[in-house]
Amino acid sequence: MELSRYLLQTCLLGAALLWLGRSWISHELGSKIGALYAVYWASAVAFIYVWQGESQAIFYSSDQVEQVRSILSIQRDGVQLTLDAFIGRRYLISVPASWLVDVGVEPLLAYKFLQGVSVLALLAVATNWSRLQGLDLRPWHFLLVAGPSLLLNSVLALRDSVLAAAVATLLFGRSILIKAIGLFVVFGLRPQLGVAIVVGFFLAWLTPRLRRPVTTAVVGVGCYVLGGVVFDIANTFLVRSRDWTTLFLLSQAGIWRLLRSFVGLQFLSVNPDTVNLDFRTLLLLRLVFVDTWLAPLMFVVVVLLFSSSARYSVSGRGTLYAFCVYIGIASQTDFTSSRQSMPFFAVFALLALRDWKASTPSMSQGEHSTRDIGWLRR
């Protein structure tokens, strides 16, 4: 595609994101963040194309090539009414993207636009939920809710931003219908993530009295191993493989792999052939992609501190257990990375901020303070 045409389409779609952000986000600061994001999206998408040209399809991840193939498959063969095609071709993203392609939008740009829409939807859900919880979001909070790693992935033709918005909608949606839509999107794009969330929250609901920090941590490790069992069962019946590896997760190396997922160091446990950057560079990138370790670390500390509180028991422990099940599933492959954890980052941050705020010491005469504690205000 000609550069001028691509840049024109990028500007028009960026303007559409700007309008959507102002329409969806009623929170004053959130609306400003949404506007800044629209400008960032248009600028970053244009920069990538000017820099990479047609090679942008393999920039950062080869998954973008698969997205283009999905559109070509839909336009050539139409929509196939099979479960394999629905999930394998990621119809929940590729079908809307193909509609944009039909009106002249470049295929990868169509996917990137849907990622941008998802970030705005995530911001809308996060700000609405925070207002209902009495949580006054500060500028630095948005660094975790829509952090650097999410911002990077949202200008690529992937599915991570859509999944992040879907998980937030599932857990923070205001109605059963909205939650059901979020769950449907999660299952449609990454079924193992949907299974992990259902199992995690079922276990939190099933064990209401197991709320001590040590017990919560032990159950979390059990959920991690359970995720490996789920993977092995699926592998046995779907792939016909008899190579069960669940016991590895109980080893010292297996437990370290789980702990690394809470501090953004998953690259220490993967096959070196799947990562192009050296160890030092990957470690330094944690300083830029701060949400990859700060959001999960902050969450696990806070949820363990307040896991004994009945008020926050199911939401905090359910999210922790779901994440552990999911990591148990993902750890069976060579592709475990912070990108796989990204759908949880906004949820981690919001739950941690809410529960920490609720821990404000009571004021004199038994009255409870409703103001933010110091570090939340800064």
Taking 80 as the threshold, does the pLDDT of residue 280 lie above it?
Answer: no
pLDDT (tens digit, 9 = 90+) per residue, 156-215? 988 899 999 999 999 998 889 999 999 999 999 999 999 999 999 999 988 877 778 888
Rounded Cα gap, residues 328 and 337, in angstroms: 13
Question: SS in 3 state form for 233-281?
Answer: HHHHHHHCCCCCCHHHHHCHHHHHHHHHCCCCCHHHCCCHHHCCCCHHH
Rounded Cα gap, residues 334 and 157, in angstroms: 22
At 192 the three-state DSSP class reads helix
- How far, rounded to the nearest angstrom, does the alpha carbon of residue 39 sit from its chain's CA centroid? 22
**Comparing C-alpha atoms, which of 166, 178, 194 is closest to residue 92?**
166
Taking 70 as the threshold, does the pLDDT of residue 244 lie above it?
Answer: no
Say which range, 203-212, 217-226, 247-256, 284-293, has the weakest mean pLDDT: 247-256
Looking at the DSSP bridge assignments, the partners of residue 368 are 362
Rounded Cα gap, residues 365 and 372, in angstroms: 19
Say which range, 16-25, 263-272, 323-332, has the weakest mean pLDDT: 263-272
Rounded Cα gap, residues 158 and 343, in angstroms: 13
Question: Average of pLDDT values for 22-34?
Answer: 93
pLDDT above 90 covers a percentage of the chain that reads 44
The length of the chain in residues reads 378
Mean pLDDT over the full length of the chain: 83
Structure tokens at 355: 């529960």
Rounded Cα gap, residues 215 and 224, in angstroms: 14
Q: Can you tell me which residue has the tokens 């159950």? A: 219
Taking 70 as the threshold, does the pLDDT of residue 78 lie above it?
Answer: yes
Collect all residues with Cβ–Cβ distance below 8 Å to 270 and sequence separation of at least 6: 334, 335, 336, 337
For the chain, the first-to-last Cα distance in angstroms comes to 46
Rounded Cα gap, residues 209 and 63, in angstroms: 43
Q: What is the dihedral of CA 72, 75, 78, 81, to 10 degrees?
A: 40
* CA distances for 218 relative to 206, 321, 376, angstroms: 15, 10, 30
pLDDT above 70 covers a percentage of the chain that reads 84
Sign of CA dihedral 49, 52, 54, 58: negative
* CA distances for 243 relative to 91, 179, 319, 328, 331, angstroms: 31, 36, 29, 16, 15
Give the confidence band of 251 by pLDDT, cuts at 50, 70, 90: low
At 368 the three-state DSSP class reads strand
DSSP one-letter code for 372 = P
pLDDT (tens digit, 9 = 90+) per residue, 214-233? 888 889 989 998 988 888 88
Question: Average of pLDDT values for 57-85?
Answer: 82
